[in-house]
Structure 1
Amino acid sequence: MTDAETLILTYPLAEMLIGLAILSLVILVHGVGVRLVYRHFTRRWSADHAPWHRNAVLSVATASLAGLHLVVTLMWAWPIWWSGLIPGLRDAYYFVLENYTTLGDNTVSLPPAWRLIGPVIAISGLFNFGWTASIFVNMMHDVGTADRAEVRREHH
């Protein structure tokens, strides 16, 4: 057993603090990302634009939000792989994705001394998906407002 594993098994708080440090960084990056995506959306969005343009703006924003989740999950996977907790970046990334999305497949797992990291990854996924959903609700409100205005113009 390595010194790090002995430390973690003896003091699970250390494991949680490491997880919370990464969680904080992930949430910071996600927060900056959603603000940039929403700012880009609001600058490009206009009810006066053609429907194809509005759909393109919405599609780019939606894809950007999905891409943001892939970036922040990689921020979890890289240290797990780099530290040797899970050999292979693909397996480390799969482990993170199954925890972040709360898939719960458990086909890839961490050593017992580090198993508390999985729930911390799940917490970050819940926060980030909730945040993304709130941004998406705002965007869809703008879409609905534009659609209703267009229908009113067509009927008058």
Structure 2
Amino acid sequence: MDPKDIINAPALIIGCTAMLICLAVQGSTIVWVMTVFKGRVRSLVSQQRTGLAHLFFFAAILALLVSHIFQIYIWSLFLYYPGIMDSMPSAGLLAGSTYTTVGFADDTLPMRWQLLEVIMAVTGLFAFAWSTSIMYGLSQQLYRSED
């Protein structure tokens, strides 16, 4: 096995480009969620409208979920359009399986492109950690009166 088959410029360029686009999407979603939801949740809790505050909290979680699904779609495009994978549904399944690090897809990429799977998984780890920190911050607003 030639190391050039594992760490190669095309895989590195495609992977880093997709990762940067995904993290830009994640960052934009985070800014939007914090701008729209954090103050609203805080305000509703101070007005003792906790039911509505919880609803906004769950809406924020839904927005974060949509961001992750969109990032999986972005990865699918990066697998399908360069011809790395033959079909968009297969690309989506592999992207979802790898991005979430669940690994349920049996289909793996050819050796030359497997670096993409590593970068995809790292992207998902970063993005999910970022989402988790935002959910924690929002829950601090939601339950701040209980301190």
TM range (shorter): 0.7 to 0.9
1:50 Cα deviation from its structure 2 partner: 1.6
The yes-or-no answer on 1:54 pairing with 2:53 is: yes
Which residue number corresponds to residue 22 of structure 1? 18
The yes-or-no answer on 1:126 pairing with 2:122 is: no
The 2-side partners of 1:72 and 1:26 are apart by: 5
Which residue number corresponds to residue 31 of structure 1? 27
Mean CA deviation greater in 77-86 or 59-68: 77-86
C-alpha contact (below 8 Å) 2:6/2:114 kept by paired residues: no
Runs of 4 or more, structure 1, over 3 Å off, are 8-11
The 2-side partners of 1:84 and 1:49 are apart by: 55
SS of match in other structure, 2:16 = helix
Unaligned runs of 5+ in 2: none
SS of match in other structure, 2:106 = coil
Which residue number corresponds to residue 154 of structure 1? none
The 2-side partners of 1:24 and 1:85 are apart by: 19
Which residue number corresponds to residue 4 of structure 1? none
Q: Check 1:91–1:10 CA distance in 2 against 1; reply closer, same or farther (3 A cut).
A: closer
Which residue number corresponds to residue 97 of structure 2? 98
Number of matched residues? 141
TM-score, structure 2 as length reference: 0.87
TM-score, structure 1 as length reference: 0.82
The 1-side partners of 2:132 and 2:125 are apart by: 10
1:103 Cα deviation from its structure 2 partner: 1.1
Which residue number corresponds to residue 13 of structure 1? 9
Percent identical pairs in the alignment equals 21
Flag the structure with more relative contact order, 1 or 2, with Cα contacts below 8 A and sequence separation at least 6: 2
1:103-118 mapped onto 2 (5 Å cutoff): 103-118=102-117
1:17 Cα deviation from its structure 2 partner: 2.4
Unaligned runs of 5+ in 1: 1-7, 150-156
